Structure 1
Amino acid sequence: MDKIRIKNLELFAKHGVFPEENALGQKFLVSADLYTDIRPAGLTDDLNASIDYGMVCHKIKDFLEQHTFRLLETAAEKLAWSLLTEIAGLKKVTLEIQKPWAPVGLPLETVSVRITRGWHTVYIALGSNLGEKETYLRNAVESLNQADGCRVEEVSEFLVTEPYGYTEQDDFLNGCLCLRTLLTPEELLALLHKLEQEAERKREIRWGPRTLDLDIIFYDDLVMDSRDLQIPHGDMQNRDFVLRPLAQIAPYVRHPILKKTVGGMLADLEHSQKI
């Protein structure tokens, strides 16, 4: 990925733990690596095809001068979020905020915080088999699109599927969506659980009926196993109701462990079901 670098932008702001820092202020130096696709601008010589680093410098200066934070960590986090959500074409940013006048009572050159934040591509499976099924799914899509740090990029058709596991229940309506998000996997999982709770989902029977079911299938190429979350979804390759809608919007996305595309996994599953 291409990068535009801003180094040691100097500004005067009021961030710090001590009251006098918030009142009097001090010097800060900010460096930023802006990750984007520079090729269109390089081929056309058109500034509109790139990111205007002069505009970014003023955004950084205005943001840090207009806000006051106790911690450099918070200043960096909030600034990164602001840049990523407001600047078109910015895919990832590395920020370093230096505090050369840090009041530590010892001689030093500077104290700094450095973070990297960016947009992630996530595929989420949706399902419902209680009440107004389509309404539950469409409300979930809209809620995700309106959530801070989230942008729904594409949504599959909603397909009627037979229940999986526990079969003594109504047919499901299933779909998948592609989401761009700044949230971590854990933060996204918490958001999905919140939306399920708002839909009054009850977890009484494993694979049982539910008003709304939201599962993370892929999160970039991440592979993780924790007590609460497994990515990629551990049983997706065996679930027709996941693979069919997912293949509509992401047929060539490759499973980071199985090394098969979504379309390939669907073909394998359909072949095994025929046998």
Structure 2
Amino acid sequence: MDQIKIENLEIFANHGVYPEENRLGQKFLVSCILYVDTRKAGKTDDLEASVNYGTISHLIKEKMEEKNYRLIEAVAEQLAEEILLFDEKIRKVMVEVKKPWAPVGLPLETVSVKIERCWNEAFIALGSNMGDKKKYIENAVEELKNEKLCRVLKVSKLIGTEPYGVTDQDEFLNGALKMETLLTPHELLELLHRIEQEAGRKRIRRWGPRTLDLDIIFYGDQIIEEDDLCIPHIDMQNREFVLGPMCEIAPHKRHPVLKETMTEMLVKLKGNN
């Protein structure tokens, strides 16, 4: 994407491990790159179509002075988050925090931390087969909408489906949603587990009855294979209750491993049944 750069913004703030750093303060240099589509601004010469780098500079100053941190890693993380939340046009940001004259007992020019953060697309499968199924799912969607670091973009309609794996239980209500998030995959998983627990989810039997089931189907095009997290979701290509809602909200989304779209996968699954 296009870039708007702010380089070596000088800010006096009180960050550091040592007490005197927090008490006396020191100069910091902050640089950032805002990744923005500037095409419309360039064609119209309209400030509203771009991001005001002056406003971002003052935002950085405000956040640097608002709270004291021991680590410049924490400073950089908070600045990146605040910038990405400030304007939806900013899709990605690079933040570098430089600390001149860092107290290491040796001559140096600066010590710095540089990070990149961005909005990540994710798809979540929704399910319930206990109690007020619709209410459980609707409450979960609302919790995700209210989460500061998440933006819910699309939600499919809910469909009734037969249970999968263990069939001696009530039918499910299933759906899917598309979202953007600043959370990492594991942080997103923790959030989903917390929402499930608040809905009374008990993990007693695999594929058993549940008040609420929230699964990460995709996180961008990442492929993660770990004991506690597998993305894309395992066996989704054989689950019509996942593919059906996914086809409604993202029919052309392509599986990063199987290289097939949601529509192609659903057609193949129905053809095999």
Tell me whether the two structures share a fold, i.e. TM-score over 0.5.
yes
**SS of 1:88's equivalent?**
coil
AA partner of residue 223 (structure 1):
I
Alpha-carbon distance between aligned partners in 2 of 1:66 and 1:166, rounded to the nearest angstrom: 53
| Structure 1 spans left out of the alignment, 5+ residues | none
Give yes or no for the alignment of 1:187 onto 2:187. Answer: yes
Which residue in the other structure is 2:110 paired with? Answer: 110
AA partner of residue 203 (structure 2):
R
Which residue in the other structure is 1:126 paired with? Answer: 126
Over residues 2-46 of structure 1, what are the superposed CA-to-partner deviations in whole Å (9 max), with x where a residue is unaligned? Answer: 111111111111100111111111111000010111111112111
By how many angstroms is 1:109 displaced?
1.0
Which residue in the other structure is 2:8 paired with? Answer: 8
Alpha-carbon distance between aligned partners in 2 of 1:172 and 1:88, rounded to the nearest angstrom: 35
Alpha-carbon distance between aligned partners in 1 of 2:160 and 2:18, rounded to the nearest angstrom: 60
By how many angstroms is 1:62 displaced?
1.4
Which residue in the other structure is 1:246 paired with? Answer: 246
For 1:51-66, what aligned pairs fall within 5 Å after superposition?
A: 51-66=51-66
Alpha-carbon distance between aligned partners in 1 of 2:87 and 2:12, rounded to the nearest angstrom: 23
**SS of 2:272's equivalent?**
helix
For 1:1-275, what aligned pairs fall within 5 Å after superposition?
A: 1-273=1-273
| Structure 2 spans left out of the alignment, 5+ residues | none
By how many angstroms is 1:249 displaced?
0.4
For the 8 Å contact 1:27–1:101, the answer to whether it is kept is: no
By how many angstroms is 1:148 displaced?
2.5
Over residues 74-103 of structure 1, what are the superposed CA-to-partner deviations in whole Å (9 max), with x where a residue is unaligned? Answer: 111111111111223111111000001211
Alpha-carbon distance between aligned partners in 2 of 1:209 and 1:62, rounded to the nearest angstrom: 49
What is the TM-score with the length of structure 1 in the denominator? 0.98
Alpha-carbon distance between aligned partners in 2 of 1:247 and 1:41, rounded to the nearest angstrom: 34
**SS of 1:259's equivalent?**
coil
By how many angstroms is 1:151 displaced?
1.1
What is the TM-score with the length of structure 2 in the denominator? 0.98
Moved over 6 A (4+): none
Alpha-carbon distance between aligned partners in 2 of 1:206 and 1:105, rounded to the nearest angstrom: 57
Over residues 157-188 of structure 1, what are the superposed CA-to-partner deviations in whole Å (9 max), with x where a residue is unaligned? Answer: 00011111111111100000011110000000
Alpha-carbon distance between aligned partners in 2 of 1:178 and 1:43, rounded to the nearest angstrom: 31
AA partner of residue 193 (structure 2):
H
AA partner of residue 120 (structure 1):
N
